Amino acid sequence: MEQLKEYVKRVEQIFDGERLFDKPEPLKGVRVLEVCYVVLGPACCDYLAEFGAEVIKFEGQRGDQMRFVTPYAYFWKNMSPGLEIQNHNKYWVGMHLGNPKAKELFLDLVKKSDVVVDNLTPGRMAAWGLSYPELSKINPRIIQLHVSGYGSWGPWTGRTSYDAVAQSMGGLSWITGFADRGPIKSGVWIADWITALMCAIAIVNALNYRERTGRGQFIDYMQVENVIRFLDWTWLYTYLTGNDRPRSGNRDLAICPSDLFDCEDGWVALAAFTEEEFKGLCTAMNRMDLFEKFADPVVRLREENAATILKAIDEWTRTKKVAEVEALGQEYGFAAAHVITAKDAYHSPHFLKRQTIQEFEDAVYGTIREECYPPRMSETPSRLKWACRPLGFDNRFVLMTMLGLSDTEIKKLQEEGVIFQWNPDIPSHCPPPDWDGKSGLKLP
């Protein structure tokens, strides 16, 4: 135990949260042009931005749909939490790429950029003359990622997809839930978030390839394929046996015991896979007869054996408080943890200590505290620098600093409707009501 404490102390010093903003960003110098809406595409670019990429987000006049998608119709200082959570550290430009002049500006930016990401309907970018062959002609090093529900080719290409649809079409909803009830979708947009993270990994892979060859490439990411891939052993099992994976509630079909159990004052997640862990659990329960019969992890997986074990644990936990089971887990070497609420997790001192939850001062919205992407990296950590922005908030900064346009040229583009800012009649487009007109604006 003392050795572990010493190790924890050394590692904590390496990851010193007080020095977060003194450390370099791993993707600094990588410029990403984001033509994305809702969650899937923006979350991919959000991940890149939190690790230092310069992300420029383009919105049409209606704005990203997430400006209107918010829990219980709740807005904070005109901001939708649904927009904020996947849109940190970005520059915001109001410009519709279907406009010929907007397209010219975009292509000028492509010449100076590394990555283009879109999650529009397949073929939409091509219809605007912004397909990968066209972009790569003016910048052979450009990487373009298109992500959509069903991909850019195949019988289902062009179908509308959202997270719930992707969970269903990938088989996730069917295997989720209890055997005697219908399928259930995840309570969060899991197909969006996991696919977004994998898209970011694909972009980093492509950047690495370009570093070695000088060549960019086109990446086509299908959201439903990603759902299929993260269903662990399900697909191989179906292929080998011809059987569907059944719904099994909270029970893990490949590890026994691994389940959620009811206690006197809450729920506990409990798992004991190895022979040693299971022996510890049986000792804590004073049920060594279970260990004598079911020490072998594979023997435990047989249906009748698993039912016996899980029933015994359920009866035992119902006589205990959650803290008692957790303490016994620590003492005897099996995994046990309180099933906590989202609010509990948010306020957890463990996550605060690790900078999972970061507090930052935003120039437009004030003090905000949110979760920041893992992994925690000792030399190049992720960080939250600023929040989402009103529509077109950074038009002037982007066009002046990155394309060298003058104030006169920018004003003309605005008069012609090529670029635009928030509609004052739509609050979720706008800055907070008490915004002073200058805070948060980047200076050219």
Q: Which domains does the chain have, with CATH numbers?
A: 26-230+371-429 (3.40.50.10540), 258-340 (3.30.1540.10)
**Whole-number pLDDT of residue 16:** 83
**Whole-number pLDDT of residue 47:** 98
Q: What is the mean pLDDT of each run of 10 residues along the chain (444 residues)?
A: 86 86 95 97 98 98 95 95 97 98 98 98 97 98 97 92 93 94 94 96 98 98 93 93 95 97 98 97 98 97 97 98 98 97 90 88 96 92 97 98 97 98 97 97 87
**Whole-number pLDDT of residue 322:** 98
- What strand order describes the sheet that includes 218-222? 90-94, 54-59, 31-35, 115-118, 143-148, 218-222
CA distances from 165 to 149, 174, 192, 197, 396 (A): 8, 12, 11, 19, 39
Q: DSSP characters for 171-205?
A: THHHHSS-TTS-----SS-HHHHHHHHHHHHHHHH
**Whole-number pLDDT of residue 444:** 79
Q: Which of 245, 272, 247, 246 is nearest to 259 (CA)?
A: 272
pTM > 0.85? yes
**Whole-number pLDDT of residue 401:** 97
Catalytic residue, chosen from 46, 64, 118, 192, is 192
CB 203 within 8 A of CB 47: no
Asked if 192 is an active-site residue, the reply is yes
Which helix (DSSP H) or strand (DSSP E) does residue 118 occupy? strand 115-118
